[in-house]
Amino acid sequence: MRLLLLFFISSVLFSGCQKDELSRTKTNLSQTWVVSQVEFGGKDTTETWKLGHVDYSLLLGKDNKYFENYTDAFGNKISQSGSWLLSDDALKVTFSNADKQAVRTLEIILIDSENFNFNKASTNPKETYYLKSI
């Protein structure tokens, strides 16, 4: 009986902590981000990446909508939007564009009120992005 009671209390506390972490991560993500550094295969490729993503910004709304804007290397204004969703106990965030044709999954390395660092899932070599809040 004691073991059953202990198990019940543990599961309630654990699920409460998971909800707190998801809520905290969602709150931290819900803001506007800019890229401060990009690494490809462990090498700093920030300057090259920024040539193709001029004035890049990513707005993540509390309503789980996102807006991504930049100018490409040819001067074309690029705007994408859709929805975002946390998964795997706030370890991953998945973006689906408005027509649900493109899906991107990011593996969160660090998220706080000022930093959003992630790896693009399933890329080889590894692509790592370091974003700062504005």
Q: What is the DSSP string of 93-122?
A: EEEEETTS--EEEEEEEEESSSEEEEEETT
Residues 6+ apart with CB under 8 A from 40: 125, 126, 127
Q: How far apart are CA 46 and CA 131, in angstroms?
A: 11
Q: How far apart are CA 117 and CA 82, in angstroms?
A: 20
CATH of the domain at 99: 2.40.128.20
CB atoms under 10 Å from CB of 107, counted, come to 17
Containing domain of residue 33, as a range? 2-133
| Whole-number pLDDT of residue 102 | 81
Q: How far apart are CA 89 and CA 17, in angstroms?
A: 10
Residues 6+ apart with CB under 8 A from 90: 21, 22, 24, 25, 26, 108, 111
pLDDT in tens, 67-119: 999 999 999 999 999 999 988 777 899 999 877 778 899 999 999 989 999 99
In the structure encoding, which two tokens stand for residue 21, read together?
A: 């972490």
Number of independent structural domains in the chain: 1
| Whole-number pLDDT of residue 14 | 45
CA pseudo-torsion sign 119, 35, 53, 42: negative
User: pLDDT band at 3, cuts 50/70/90?
Assistant: very low
